[in-house]
Structure 1
Amino acid sequence: MSLTDVDWSKLPAPEDDSTAARVEGTTLPQLELAATDGSKVHLADLTGTSVIYIYPKTGQPGVPLPDGWDTIPGARGCTPQSCAFRDHYKELSALGAGHIFGLSTQSTAYQAEAVERLHLPFPLLSDADLTFTNALDLPSFEADGQTLLKRLTLIVRDGVVIKAFYPVFPPDRNAADVMAWLEENPA
């Protein structure tokens, strides 16, 4: 089985804790996040439509995931989710997504390995200091002493969250769900 071929029926699905309801309509905070392309991104200042998929942690070949990773609802699937956004990048852009980002609490250096290995055509953003997480009160969990984010995808227009997908499961279907929503809700 490859990293992108996962039997989702054997993994625990996350439950809806109303995070989407409290995040939709929120104006993004004025802060900058480090990106894997070397830039600093001010999400609140981006114009047009942006898609930000938030994920717990990408694994690295040869490095074990936290103990019990597959028993944490929604933890597994960061690579298939990123690959789906990569594979649908052109379609998402054609539907008006001017900016696409992945976001996690991992360091930019750690994320850079995933961008290169997975050939992602968009940058990943680091919220290692949890400023974005805390400002939006994003759902998180602890694993091996790390604060990790629960999987959530935001569609933002001119700095305001207009749609939040949560919980996201299975993660490899997330990009297709975002495309369907963008088709039904053009800018």
Structure 2
Amino acid sequence: MELKVGDVIPHFTAKDSNGNDFDSNDYVGKQSLVIYFYPKDDTPGCTTQACTFRDQYQDFKDLGAEVIGISSDSVQSHLKFQSKFNLPFILLSDNDKKIRKAFGVSKDFLGLIDGRTTYVVDAKGIIQLVFDSTSAKSHIKNALEILKISL
């Protein structure tokens, strides 16, 4: 079942790009989150999206939000991707796709490729925006607009 605006995000854990344990409970209740699911590290669309989040990361921080990118790539792949493009935000490895399933992120392109969906979540863990689009750059603009409105 796909999560929608007004839903509370599910609790989740994963390994970050450094192999450290990430627990969503460490963030929910403390700050807003921009959680974006993307298909694959170091591919053209995903690189564009990640670098656009990188270039506007301070805008998100200034609005009190943390950015979290999630794909099924390995911890090692995330570390390489993060290092190559100097990404300052959290990347999580969802290799068993449990987080993707918990959020209900659908597949794109006839069900062949993992979907690209962004969630803006307020400090209480309530979803304020669900944006599902193959257009990589539009996720950042929409997320910033919602964060500005919800302050």
Which of 1 and 2 has greater Rg?
Answer: 1
3-state DSSP class of the match of 2:6?
coil
Residues 45, 159 of structure 1: 8 Å contact kept: no
Provide structure 1 residue ranges, at least 5 long, that are not aligned to the other structure: 1-18, 61-75
Q: Does 1:151 align with 2:116?
A: yes
Aligned residue type for 2:48 = P
What is the root-mean-square deviation of aligned Cα atoms in Å? 2.1
| Distance across 2 between alignment mates of 1:51 and 1:130 | 18
Q: Does 1:125 align with 2:92?
A: yes
C-alpha deviation, 1:38, in angstroms = 3.1
4+ runs of 1 displaced by more than 6 Å?
none
| Distance across 2 between alignment mates of 1:45 and 1:91 | 22
What are the within-5 Å matches in structure 2 for residues 74-113 of structure 1? 77-97=45-65, 99-113=66-80
Query: Equivalent pairs: percent with the same residue?
Result: 28
Provide structure 2 residue ranges, at least 5 long, that are not aligned to the other structure: none
How high is the TM-score relative to the length of structure 1? 0.70
Shift of the 118–162 alpha-carbon distance from structure 1 to 2, 3 Å rule, reads same
Q: Does 1:164 align with 2:130?
A: yes
| Distance across 2 between alignment mates of 1:40 and 1:161 | 23
| Distance across 2 between alignment mates of 1:159 and 1:185 | 13
Number of positions where the alignment pairs a residue of Structure 1 with one of Structure 2 = 146
